[in-house]
């Protein structure tokens, strides 16, 4: 078996790269050891959003009387929510299977290991076989990081896979780490009645976000009943009793929290150990494969994309890298990816989305800024929808009017951020944004109003 392109891993990096390669006329194969679609479709982006939708529906029903609807007391059916989420994931994976067939891409179900120049060893029902590829793209993704002082056993100390497939809803849960994954699970479990403590080592939750957004989310989480602890370090987890006892060190001293399960959401570790990278001489550093701006490793013919290389661990980044990598292989003239214009979203409630500079980073870099903020409490659409929490904050370069960054928290803001990414790509100025007519009533009007606020022209404040 010999191909122009062989992709190892079928996550959003791998399968998108394979489809683009096939579109460009390259004979392509994907080698995947689990389900097609990788973490994103099977254990990440999609099944978590299905669970969060269940939480949102439950919240709506709980607050139905606020919308003039009287109904009885609803009950969260946890196994049914898990079943729905798994079903959604399964369907998405089948969709990738269809796309592979449609694009005439060979799918090899096996663990893959590099064994020499252009050669990969696969397992065919116990028989070792060699697949040859002129260009090999490593897209092996990542897994949940296991901390030595709270090793995951899959039952009491769990990672994200178990968190979306537990057989029974925990009564009490401690979530360690408040990045996107930790915050989404904290919100989901709290919404359906689990008592949740969210523990963050740094001073703010969702620590990569603008500080004002982090503070607003912390207030919202606390209002929802989540116990949020920042500047807090888990020292140990004792699993010897019936449940778990988590010892947390804070500025005020040590505190002990009892719970049924601890979710470790402290980050991810790239899958680079079992791919034969060392044997063929591919350079790695700090657990990541080192690549150039077009995803070439130091070994000719071997490329890497997605969560196994440095950069933001996001599905849309992996896909964009896959497309660029393959277009370059096909000899096209390609623009490199602008890592400063990558949107990031957290799908808890209220949602969080952002792109570009935070206020802190702009100030640290000595850039003179103009900041405009518009609260959703002044938005007609937000009021009508019953979602007045949150705001849009835009950061402009005071000298040139360039939109340096955008930070949003509120209902549906993960859908609003794409406008900002396009504006930044097209180098639109603040004044052009103010003069861009937005439909009324929409949440998106808050973007235009925030721009107007930065220039002293806001109408609805
Ligand atoms: C709970 C959770 C929620 C998330 N939510 C979002 C979100 O909302 N938005 C977002 O943008 N990102 C989200 N992410 C991150 C996103 O899932 C990843 O960034 C994305 O999946 C990375 O894609 P990838 O192609 O690099 O690899 P992956 O999706 O990790 O896929 C890698 C694949 O390679 C396979 N593989 C590994 N080694 C081998 C081998 N040796 N041989 C054969 N196959 C192999 C694996 O089985 C896997 O299927 C989330 C992640 C998690 C865990």
The Cα-based distances of 383 to 55, 262, 379, 418 in angstroms read: 21, 37, 6, 23
Provide the mean pLDDT of the chain: 97
Task: Report which protein residue has its CA nearest ligand 1's atom 7.
Answer: 45
Instruction: In whole angstroms, give the CA distance from residue 112 to residue 277.
Output: 11
| Rounded Cα gap, residues 217 and 209, in angstroms | 10
Pocket test for ligand 1, best of 113, 141, 347, 352 (most atoms within 8 A of CB): 141
Summarize pLDDT for 280-329 with one digit per residue, the tens: 999 999 999 999 999 999 999 999 999 999 999 999 999 999 999 999 99
Cβ atoms 451, 381 nearer than 8 A: no
d(CA 429, CA 402): 5
pLDDT at 124: 82
Please name the residue whose Cα sits nearest to atom 12 of ligand 1: 314
In this prediction, residue 76 has a pLDDT band, given cuts at 50, 70 and 90, of very high
Q: What is the pLDDT of residues 7-44, one digit of tens each?
A: 999 999 999 999 999 999 999 999 999 999 999 999 99
Q: What is the DSSP letter of 338?
A: -
Q: Is the pLDDT of residue 136 over 90?
A: yes
Structure tokens at 106: 């060979």
pLDDT confidence of 410, banded at 50, 70, 90? very high
Please report the pLDDT score of residue 244 as a whole number.
Answer: 97
Alpha-carbon distance 452 to 394, whole Å?
10
pLDDT, residue 127, reads 92
What residue owns the CA closest to ligand 1's atom 13? 45
- Output the six-digit token pair for 124: 């065919």
Query: In the chain, pLDDT over 70 holds for what percent of residues?
Result: 100
Question: What pLDDT is recorded for position 4?
Answer: 98
Name the E strands within 344-426.
Answer: 344-346, 351-356, 369-375, 391-397, 403-410
Q: Ligand 1 atom closest to Cα of 14?
A: 25
Within 6 A (CB) of ligand 1 lie 8-14, 31-34, 38-40, 43-45, 48, 111-112, 139-142, 160, 181, 271, 274-275, 306-307, 313-316, 318
Instruction: Kindly give the distance from the C-alpha atom of residue 253 to the centroid of ligand 1, in angstroms, as a whole number.
Output: 38
Report how far ligand 1's centroid is from the alpha carbon of 318 (Å): 9
In the chain, the percentage of residues whose pLDDT exceeds 90 is 99
Q: What gap in Å lies between CA 373 and CA 408, rounded to an integer?
A: 10
Q: What is the per-residue pLDDT across 248-288, written as a single tens digit (0 to 9) for each?
A: 999 999 999 999 999 999 999 999 999 999 999 999 999 99
- Secondary structure class of 192 (helix, strand, coil): coil
User: Whose alpha carbon is nearest atom 26 of ligand 1?
Assistant: 306
CA–CA dist 395, 397 (Å, integer): 7
CA dihedral 448, 451, 455, 459 (to 10 degrees): 30
Residue range 176-229, pLDDT digits in tens: 999 999 999 999 999 999 999 999 999 999 999 999 999 999 999 999 999 999
Cα end-to-end span (Å), the chain:
66
Q: Find all residues with CB under 8 Å of 331, minimum gap 6, and list them.
A: none
Q: Is the pLDDT of residue 125 over 90?
A: no
Question: Which residues are annotated as catalytic?
Answer: 440
| Section 353-358 average pLDDT | 97
List 131's β-bridge partners, or say none: 120
For 165, 176, 184, 320, 349, the CA distances from 352, given in Å and listed in that order, are 25, 19, 10, 22, 8
Q: Do the strands 351-356 and 119-124 form a parallel or antiparallel pair, or are they unpaired?
A: unpaired
What pLDDT band is residue 1 in, cutting at 50, 70 and 90? confident
């Amino acid at each position: 078996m010999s191909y122009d392109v062989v992709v190892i891993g079928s996550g959003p990096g791998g399968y998108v790269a394979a489809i683009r390669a096939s579109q460009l006329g390259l004979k392509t194969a994907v080698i995947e050891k689990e389900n097609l679609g990788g973490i994103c479709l099977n254990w990440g982006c999609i099944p978590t959003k299905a669970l969060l939708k269940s939480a949102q529906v439950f919240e709506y029903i709980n607050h139905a009387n606020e919308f003039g609807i009287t109904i009885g007391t609803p009950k969260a059916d946890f196994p049914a929510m898990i079943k729905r989420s798994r079903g959604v994931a399964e369907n998405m994976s089948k969709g990738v299977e269809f796309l592979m067939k449609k694009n005439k891409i060979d799918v090899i179900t096996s663990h893959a290991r590099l064994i020499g120049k252009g050669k990969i060893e696969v397992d065919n029902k116990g028989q070792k076989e060699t697949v040859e590829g002129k260009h090999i793209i490593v897209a092996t993704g990542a897994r949940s990081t296991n901390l030595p002082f709270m090793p995951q056993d899959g039952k009491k100390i769990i990672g994200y896979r178990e968190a979306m497939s537990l057989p029974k809803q925990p009564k009490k849960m401690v979530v360690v780490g408040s990045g996107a994954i930790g915050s989404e699970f904290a919100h989901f479990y709290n919404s359906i009645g689990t008592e949740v403590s969210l523990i963050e080592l740094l001073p703010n939750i969702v620590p990569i976000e603008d500080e004002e957004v982090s503070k607003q989310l912390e207030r919202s989480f606390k209002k929802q009943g989540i116990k949020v602890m920042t500047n807090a370090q888990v020292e140990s987890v004792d699993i010897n009793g019936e449940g778990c006892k988590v010892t947390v060190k804070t500025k005020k001293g040590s505190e002990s929290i009892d719970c049924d399960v601890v979710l470790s959401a402290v980050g991810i570790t790239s899958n680079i150990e079992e791919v034969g990278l060392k044997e063929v001489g591919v350079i790695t550093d700090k657990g990541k494969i080192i690549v150039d701006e077009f995803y070439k490793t130091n070994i000719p013919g071997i490329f890497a994309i997605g969560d196994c290389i440095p950069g933001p661990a996001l599905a849309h980044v992996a896909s964009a890298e896959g497309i660029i990598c393959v277009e370059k292989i096909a000899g096209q003239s390609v623009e490199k990816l602008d890592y400063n214009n990558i949107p990031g979203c957290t799908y808890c409630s209220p949602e969080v989305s952002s792109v570009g500079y935070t206020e802190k980073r702009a100030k640290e870099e000595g850039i003179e800024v103009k900041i405009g903020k518009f609260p959703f409490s002044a938005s007609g659409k937000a009021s009508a929808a019953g979602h007045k929490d949150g705001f849009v904050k835009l950061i402009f370069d005071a000298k040139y009017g360039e939109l340096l960054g955008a930070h949003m928290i509120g209902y549906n803001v993960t859908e609003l951020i794409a406008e900002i990414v396009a504006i930044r790509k097209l180098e639109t100025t603040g004044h052009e944004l103010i003069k861009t007519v937005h439909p009324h009533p929409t949440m998106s009007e808050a973007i235009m109003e925030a721009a107007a606020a930065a220039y002293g022209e806001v109408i609805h404040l």
